[in-house]
Amino acid sequence: MFFLVLQRLFFGAVIDILYFPIWWYIGGTKHAAIWCLQLLKKGNDTLAPALWLQNIFVPMYGQYDWQGRIISFLVRSAQVFVRSLALVLWLAVCWLLLLIWLAMPLVTAYGLLKSVIKL
């Protein structure tokens, strides 16, 4: 029994190492994608340009006079612009992280190969 278990563990470990690169592009990529999506959601929750756009004609700080409305509109427009820009940047970062995940095995293989050749 002891040897049976040991044998099974050994083969399991070998198969696991072989499976690892495949996992990286299937399960791992899915995991990384979900993680990036959540990061993006967090960014959206914090920046919330849509919410600002929704309220673009609503005066800020309850200033209902016409001056207040005008100033609010201008400030809100600027806010929507800046926040959208920031969110786009944030999105880029998220993509970048996902790309790093995808490129990682290739880069590692390339680097390793290059270093071995260099020897």
Partner 1 sequence: MLFEKKQPLNLLICPSCKGTGIVGMSGCSECRGKSVGYRPRQKLLHWSFPLTRYNLALLKAKRIFNKIRRITFVVLWLNAWGWFGFLIYKKVIWADVIKGPEYMWNALNNVEGSSWILFWLGVIFISYWTYRVITERKIKGEVEKYSYDVQMTAAENQILTDWKQIEKISGRQSLNISSSFTDEALAAVGEAYEMADRNGYKILEVEHLFFALLSFNRIGNIFVRLGIPASVIKKYLLPILENKKGKVEKRIGEAPLVSPDFFQALFGAYEESYSAHQEYVSVTELLVAAAKQSEMLQEMLYDVGIEKNKLVNAVEWARIGERLYRRYVTHSRSASHRSKSGMDKAMTALATPYLNNFSDDMTLLAQYGRLEFCVARDKVIEEVFRAVEGGGENVVLVGEHGAGKRSVVEGIAEKMINEDVPSRLRDKRLVRLSVSSLLSGTTPAGAIERLLHILNEISNARNVVLFIHNIHEMSGVSAGEEGGSLDLSDTLAERLKTGRFITIATTTPEFYAKNISGTSLSNIFTKVDVKELTEDEAIQVVESKIGLVEYKNKVFFAYNAIEKAVQLASRYLHEVCLPGSALEVINESAAHVRNKKGNESLVTAEDVAKVVSDKTGIPVTSVTADESGKLMKLEQEMHKRVIGQEEAVGLIANALRRARAQIRSTNRPIANFLFLGPTGVGKTELAKTISTVYFGGEDMMVRLDMSEYQDKTSVYRLIGAPGEKGSGILTEAVRRQPFSLLLLDEIEKADPNILNLFLQVMDDGRLTDSSGQVIDFTNVILIATSNAGTTYVQEQMRAGLSSEAIKERLLHGELKQNFRPEFLNRFDGIVLFKPLAYDDVKKIAALMLQRITKELEEKGIETVIEDEALDFLAGVGFDPEFGARPLRRAIQERIENQLAEMLLSNKLKRRDKIAIGRGGYIRVIN
Shortest approach of partner 1 to residue 95 CB, angstroms?
Answer: 20
**Whole-angstrom distance, CA of residue 35 vs CA of residue 101:** 11
Burial class (CB in 10 A: 0-12, 13-18, 19+), 44: middle
The alpha-helical segments, DSSP class H, found in 48-65 are 49-54
Indicate whether 3 belongs to the interface with partner 1 (CB under 8 A).
no
Q: How far is the CB of 85 from partner 1 (least distance, A)?
A: 18
CB of 89 to partner 1, least distance (A): 19
3-state secondary structure of 63: coil
Interface residue with partner 1 among 15, 100, 103, 112 (CB under 8 A) is 112
Using rule CB under 8 A, residue 34 touches partner 1:
no
Contacting residues for 78 by C-beta, under 8 A, at least 6 apart: none
Dig out the tokens for 6 from the structure. 């040991």
38 binds partner 1 (CB under 8 A): no
Under the binding rule (CB under 8 A), the answer on residue 24 touching partner 1 is yes
Write the CB contacts of 12 (distance below 8 Å, at least 6 apart in sequence). none
Residues near partner 1, by CB under 8 A: 1, 4-6, 8-9, 12-13, 17, 20, 23-24, 27-28, 31, 45-46, 48, 51-52, 54-55, 58-62, 104-105, 108, 111-112, 114-119
